[in-house]
Structure 1
Amino acid sequence: MLMLDRTDPPRVHDAPAPQPPPVLRRRGGLVAALDVGTTKVACFIARVDEDSGGLRVLGVGHHRSRGMRTGLVVNRDEVEAAIRQAVSAAEDMAGETIDGVVVAVSGGAPESQRIDAEMAVTGHQVRDADVRRILAFGRRPPEDPDRELIHCIPVGYAIDGADGIIDPRGMFGERLGARMHLVSVASAPLRNLSTVIERCHLDVDNRVAAPYAAGLASLVEDERDLGATVIDMGGGTTSVAVFLGGHVVHVGVIPVGGGHVTSDIAQGLSTPLANAERLKTMYGGTIASPADSREILRVPLVGEDEDTQSIEVPRSYLVQIIRPRVEETLELVHGHLKAAGMDQVAGRRAVLTGGASQLTGVRELAELVLDKQVRCGRPLRLRGLAESVAGPAFATCAGLLSHAVQEHVDRPDPEDPPRAGGLLGPVERIGRWLKEHF
């Protein structure tokens, strides 16, 4: 546990890294979300209703993704072209031009860490400065120079050992404690993605772990409070987020997704990838039925004339290819949760999102492998969202909008880093002291 003394002067190395503004609303109340995945790029543009605080979607754009693999940029030019197409389509529909986006992060091997910090408040009323100071220790750069912090989320406060406090400001006590959930990712993949987005003349307003965003979009309040596991099954990765007590308490990513199912079909049937994707989408499933052996599929062969050279296989053979890969993916998720000590933390509730979760029978297979009650999630609480983009495949992008306008408990109003010397630092500190006390 980190121990702080309220009377100690701030030290330069204790200062948090510069953070983006806490409320990411652009001109006219516009917010924009960008999800750059392995198989698709999606962009949502919405406007904030100042009276209700709700969001209305104005424009949606999505385009086939190229140049991404397992959430990582492998071809900058192709990724840039896909982003431009998706953003342009969303801008045309909305009749607006955007200059900044909230971005989903699924690559870079996200890691979760939980830390406790405690500081003396010597019987005084807990103020904003006290909360900022204790959270600043969580927002310090990771010890590993090759990783970057993207989330510092307080999951609970304590005063004099009494925990379960949601907001300690205005309360009295001798010692203030905070339990924080930190999420870090590898710096290089994050910078590569940011560079490509900036080449599209867009600012990166904030970065959000993809499963965290999917949970914000698809979970109801009771699920967040009582506990639920979100499994976002994308094209190149399957990401996991565990929610409990209203907060996300764990995230992780497994580098296996729906694209691996497509590759298995292409290899198993010696058919082009485009046709394998079509077969998966139209006829794929994970649970066999008696009629599958009687339903015959015509499959063209790689490098052959589609009209003259093809084979016929029963649909049951397609199911035999798909099921092992999906089952393996879910077993990897189960193993990840167990290794992180999160298998039983969130109870027996799981929510599936992502395009790969739409395969027939995935929910039933997930219940069997995970031993949980499973439902399919879709974006909630967004107005103006067309039915075609209101499914599980777009939950992450919808959640980015929710994150952009929520009160940022994970990033409280940032202070400028304390200066080592000079006149401005003391003047700023005096100004803050006067503001808090008078």
Structure 2
Amino acid sequence: MLMLTRTDRDRHSDAPPPAWRRRGGLIAALDVGTTKVACFIARADESGGGLRVLGVGHHQSRGVRSGRVANLDEVATAIRKAVARAEDMAGEHIDGVVVAVSGGDPESRRIDVEMAVAGHQIRDADVRRILACGGQQPSDPDRELLHCIPVGYTIDGTDGVLDPRGMYGERLGARMHLVSAAAGPLRNLSTVIERCELDVDSRVAAPYAAGLASLVEDERDLGATVIDMGGGTTSVGVFLGGHVIHVGVIGVGGGHVTNDIAQGLSTPLAMAERLKTMYGATLTSPADAREILRVPLVGEDEDQPALEIPRSYLVQVIRPRVEETLELVRAHLAAAGVDRIAGRRAVLTGGASQLPGVRELAEHILDKQVRPGRPLRLHNLADSAAGPAFATCAGLLSHAVQDHVERPILDEPPRSGGLFAPVHRIGRWLRENF
């Protein structure tokens, strides 16, 4: 249990309004994946009417490996094209984005913090201070904090407090979920986005965003596991009690299936991707042995005879990799101790989850009830962008408008000096206490 001192409490002031409020409700989300870059532009109705999508853009991703930037120029080009398409559709210009993070090996850690409130009514300022304290926890200098998420509060040691504001007590405690990622990949991602003349408003762990987009309220409360099967990585998010309690990333995705097809059939990568998309599956049917596929060989001229294989052979190439991915997910959940506490509900998102038979295979390997996930709670979203492949990007919009503090401002605000310093200090005290 970490105790918050008065010095720690006094160095934090009111947080500035989120960027989307300063921009008239305009929000932009950017998901830089291994196979595609997607950008959503939406407008938030500040009266509570939800999010209305104005523009969608996506482009083939190049220069990203396993969620990490590998070539700055190629990634920047893909981002510019995706953002330009979204801006053209929306008729708006954006200067900042909320970004998904799938690289950098995101890790979860849970801590308890506590501070004295001297019996007065607990205010917004008290909640911000205790969250800021959690964000100051010592960690690996090579990692950066992404989220500081309160998953529960205590007042004078009493558990089960969902929102302490307005209550009275001597001591306020908070249980927090900290999510961090390797600093190098995060900085590379920020650098390439800044090259595109865009600000990074906030960064969100990809499985957290996917869960916000695809889970219904009961699933978040009762417990569910989100498995986001992307091109280069498979992200895992566990939700319980209305909060995300664990995130993790496994370095295997749909791109590995494509590589297996290309190597197993000696065909170009573009043809392997086409075969996977049009004919791929993880479960065989009696008709697969009779359906013959023509597969051109890598390096051969177009007039050379193509390899002919039954579709069942393609399934035999695909299934082992998908099984391995799901087994790695199962092992990850068990190692983190969250394989059972979140119940038996799982939701699949991401482009690789759309392969026929993945749902049935996941139910067998994970021993959970599995359903496909897709973006929810977004108005005016085109059908072409409403599938599992765009769940993460949609969840970034939802995260941007959430009324909570997850990434506290840790830098000390500039101190007022000179003749008006006492006036500034009195004004700050009045804002925090009334």
Per the shorter chain, which TM-score range? Answer: over 0.9
The normalised TM-score by structure 2 is: 0.95
1:3 aligns to what?
3
Query: What amino acid sits opposite 1:198 in the alignment?
Result: E
Distance 1:173 1:196, change over 3 A: same
Question: 1: CA distance between counterparts of 2:139 and 2:417?
Answer: 29
Query: What amino acid sits opposite 2:201 in the alignment?
Result: D
Aligned length: 433
Question: 2: CA distance between counterparts of 1:332 and 1:219?
Answer: 22
Query: What amino acid sits opposite 1:330 in the alignment?
Result: L
1:38/1:70 contact within 8 Å kept? yes
SS at match of 1:304: coil
Match of 2:372 among 348, 369, 376: 376
2:128/2:405 contact within 8 Å kept? no
SS at match of 1:138: helix
2:317 aligns to what?
321
Q: CA deviation at 1:406?
A: 1.5
Question: 1: CA distance between counterparts of 2:212 and 2:246?
Answer: 14
Match of 1:358 among 333, 354, 372: 354
2:394 aligns to what?
398
Q: CA deviation at 1:408?
A: 2.4
1:205 aligns to what?
201
CA RMSD of aligned residues (A): 2.1
User: Where does the alignment leave 5 or more consecutive residues of structure 1 unmatched?
Assistant: none
2:116 aligns to what?
120
1:224 aligns to what?
220
Distance 1:288 1:46, change over 3 A: same
Q: CA deviation at 1:420?
A: 8.4
Distance 1:234 1:383, change over 3 A: same
2:172 aligns to what?
176
SS at match of 1:327: helix
Question: 1: CA distance between counterparts of 2:145 and 2:128?
Answer: 17
Residues 79-118 of structure 1 aligned to structure 2 (within 5 Å): 79-118=75-114
Match of 1:289 among 265, 281, 285: 285
Distance 1:161 1:369, change over 3 A: same
Question: 2: CA distance between counterparts of 1:141 and 1:77?
Answer: 36
Query: What amino acid sits opposite 1:60 in the alignment?
Result: V
Query: What amino acid sits opposite 1:376 in the alignment?
Result: P
Question: 2: CA distance between counterparts of 1:203 and 1:220?
Answer: 31
1:50 aligns to what?
46
Query: What amino acid sits opposite 1:146 in the alignment?
Result: D
The answer on 1:145 being equivalent to 2:141 is: yes
Deviations 1:157-202 (A, max 9, x none): 0101111111111111121110000000011100101111111111
Distance 1:26 1:301, change over 3 A: farther
Question: 2: CA distance between counterparts of 1:332 and 1:51?
Answer: 43
The answer on 1:246 being equivalent to 2:242 is: yes
2:264 aligns to what?
268
Deviations 1:354-377 (A, max 9, x none): 000000000000000000000000
2:416/2:424 contact within 8 Å kept? no
2:96/2:199 contact within 8 Å kept? yes
User: Where does the alignment leave 5 or more consecutive residues of structure 2 unmatched?
Assistant: none
Q: CA deviation at 1:11?
A: 7.8
Deviations 1:75-128 (A, max 9, x none): 110000000000001111111111111000000000000000112223222122
The normalised TM-score by structure 1 is: 0.94
2:4/2:133 contact within 8 Å kept? no
1:23/1:406 contact within 8 Å kept? no
Distance 1:164 1:392, change over 3 A: same
1:141/1:148 contact within 8 Å kept? no
1:23/1:408 contact within 8 Å kept? no
Q: CA deviation at 1:24?
A: 3.1
Question: 1: CA distance between counterparts of 2:16 and 2:178?
Answer: 17
Question: 1: CA distance between counterparts of 2:395 and 2:40?
Answer: 10
Match of 1:349 among 341, 345, 358: 345
Distance 1:271 1:416, change over 3 A: closer
Residues 330-341 of structure 1 aligned to structure 2 (within 5 Å): 330-341=326-337
Question: 2: CA distance between counterparts of 1:89 and 1:35?
Answer: 14
Question: 2: CA distance between counterparts of 1:427 and 1:372?
Answer: 60
- Identity percentage of aligned residues: 79
Query: What amino acid sits opposite 2:257 in the alignment?
Result: V
1:164 aligns to what?
160
SS at match of 1:350: strand
Q: CA deviation at 1:15?
A: 6.5
Match of 1:190 among 186, 191, 201: 186
1:417 aligns to what?
412
Distance 1:436 1:108, change over 3 A: closer
Query: What amino acid sits opposite 2:200 in the alignment?
Result: V
1:41/1:62 contact within 8 Å kept? yes
Query: What amino acid sits opposite 1:260 in the alignment?
Result: H
